[in-house]
Structure 1
Amino acid sequence: MKTKLHFLTFALLFAIGIQAQTVSVTSTLPSTIETGDALDFTVDYTTDSNNYNLIVRFYEDNGGTITRYGTDQSFKSIPSNTSGTEVLNINAPLVAASNYIARIFIENSTDYSKFYAADIPFTVTAKVVSVKDTYLFDTDGDLEGWDTGSIGAPNITATVAGGAMVINTGSGSWDVGYVEQTEYKLDPAMHTYLDITYKNLSKPNENNQIELDWITSGTTRSSRVIIPIETSGWNDPMDFTTVTYDLGANPEWAGADATYFRIYVSRAEGGPKSKDIEISSIVFNNPTLSTNNLSANIENVSIYPNPFTDSFSYKFNGDLSDSVSVELFSIVGKKINTNNTFNGNSGIVDTAQLNKGIYLVRISSGKVTETRKLIKK
């Protein structure tokens, strides 16, 4: 839901050589807003010979005690001797249920004098969110609750096409952009591992890390976690690969509110470069059958294709004296089919009955056991 607030007039008038500043505002805010809602502001203005900045600031009203909430939510330069309209969008500014005041003002960019409109009180209620742990981006245009945001002002964009969320981090900025989950939350007791399958089209000196953080309680965000990622070569783009982070080992994850999870794209040398990173899946899972907790002998067996549609194949390197057992599990470790037993070092597993999603397959023969994560498209 987006909420619109229309500023009727920002007028700076001169009369008899005396400067008279007036700021008036008409609000169309509803009586309540949900946490995370975006706020739209349409501002009409007229300025005198001075330059001004248009600033939107929020305050929390705790039983009459007014305290500033966060940093300035919008900062737009307004040129002198100009009449015009600015359309501002503030994405998910309020993440705690409370009573608030929107305070809108113009500030002289030379002497910093401020001229305020009347305060606008409103209430934010907690949004009812569902738990969702798997994001496959298999519907073009559907970001599945992920939205873009920034610290600073990079022109970050995110779209879904061809089975992946494509993130472009903007250009020329040393600030940091991110995608943030604004519709769904997580369960820290269940979701203790994070797997991100990505293809980074950045070159080695460009975007080479992601960072993670989340709401621990109230409006407090966790410390940011830095995870190095692979980049494409100077001449050749990389294939999709998966990076895993053990959330359960982070002391700020246990008992966290686990909302507004963010994935930042950056580079160790500074701000992001304007390159695409494609994410084909984001999965929060239970480590019971995680491939990171099992001894994997990758050279022993090939499992392909991945992603698969109606079937996948396996092939062991070398002859086998024992039969082969194939078991399928959901991403949280629930067994979803009976054992399939095969003879020989290769076979095809029928998966036509499975829904689209992410699965764990465990293939065993004698003393060799392989567990891999597969995606059905």
Structure 2
Amino acid sequence: MQNIIKSIQEELDAMLSGHFIPYYKVAIGLAAIVALIFSIVLSHGSVFEGKIAVIDLDGSNYSTELISKINTSSYIEVSEVIRSPVNPITLVSHDRNLGVLYIPKGLEKSLKKGDQTVRLGYFSDDTNEAQNAKVLQNLNEYIPELGAELSVGKVSSLGFGREGTEATLSPMQLKSRNLFNPASSSTISTIIYFVYFFSSLTYGLTSLMIIGRLKITGMWNTVLERGFVALLARTIPYALFYTTGLTLITAVLVLFGQLRFDGNYFVFVPSIFMTGLAFGWLGFLLSWKTNNPGEGASKMIFLVPPGFIMGGSTMAVGIMPIWAYYVSHAFPLVWLFRFFRDIAMRGRSPIDMMSTYGMFIIYLTVIAFVVMIVFNQVKKPAAQPELN
């Protein structure tokens, strides 16, 4: 126990010395700055007034009226109308538009005759599918409604009544409801992920430099004498500041109504601290053979970014094959994002989270066991001359 306490004190002294990263400041300061900047930049949770171009080959009064109605609908802005055939690729190049709506020739004539269904086309710039989500959703809802308006007079003359007319024109509808982010708040969907990501980057960088720092300052032999538990304990101060920083910023966002946190935060806090331990211990393994802090810092690409990419913040988890889903849990940030979604967004209870916490404890135990094996392999050769 004395060795563990000494190791923790040495890390605190290193933080306060001014010669190494002042993580106690970075943990809180960076999280606050990231939350502030991205709250301003990403003030909208989705693309509002997404620009689309229209190729109108009909050029009729109705097509002009249709374009005007689409332009006044939510999330869509008609940026330009082309009256002649043109390659839609040129209209979406350089992020000029999110897509191109195609109105075929003979639209008004076909609608008045009512002898066949007229199909409008939409060329979607799917280089970033998320940008077109609201545009496509609104077009799919709005175009059928406008079409139904033309048929109301014809169907109502049959004497079906208002409800019968609606049932004839639209016999089946789908109404959707967003369960966890009905207002499309970017704080829930994007900003909080960036706060956790950048905070993890600085902590990961710090943990990757510990081994090199111990070696270059001549403390490595002392570390070997104290045992691997004392080495693991060196991450405790950093994990505490990591937890404190994220907790303070999350609390601020919740108190000011910028973040929806539906579960019990005290159920969530242990997952942050455990993630901090995982980052530190994996950082030891990745930087084990380094001889200076700079070498350890170069390993950052293997520690934090994979978890951000595969943790459900940049893409849907369901996109990955099942084996990749399980492999992704080798990265600590994946666990943190998983806990956040279940507790903060879905409001799961402590009992519901017991199995996930159990798996996370097994994960930490495996990492600690690997550190112990690597530590003992290094310690034996170092102790060999003393035995002789």
Asked if TM exceeds 0.5, the reply is no
TM-score by length of 1: 0.21
Higher RCO by CA contacts (8 Å cutoff, separation 6 or greater): 2
Structure number with higher helix proportion: 2
Higher CA-based Rg: 2
Structure number with higher strand proportion: 1
